[in-house]
Amino acid sequence: MGSAHSMGSTTVVTDKAGAQEAIIHHGVGHDTIEHLHQGGTETVDHLGHTDVFHDVHGAVQTVSHI
């Protein structure tokens, strides 16, 4: 997940055994995270130097970065 990506690309997150856990769809304004085993979709909105994370339970967290 630490590699660079382009808008419109997809990142697949796997566990230690190589099984797919989640798929991240990289968008212009936000990323959409699909959990393959837990169900539910989460989003990460990119707002300048701050990302806003919305989880499947409705909780909202913010992360500031440079």
Domain residue ranges of the chain, discontinuous segments joined by +: 10-64
Give dist(CA 65, CA 45) in Å, integer. 13
Predicted pLDDT at 4 = 56
- Other Cβ atoms less than 10 A from the Cβ of 51: the count is 16
Predicted pLDDT at 48 = 83
- Percentage of residues in the chain having pLDDT higher than 90: 29
52-64 residues labelled b (16+ CB within 10 A) or e (exposed): ebbeeeeeeeeee
pLDDT band of residue 2 (cuts 50, 70, 90) is very low
Higher pLDDT among residues 57 and 39, named by residue: 57
Query: Tens digits of per-residue pLDDT, 38-49?
Result: 778 899 998 888
pTM for the whole structure: 0.70
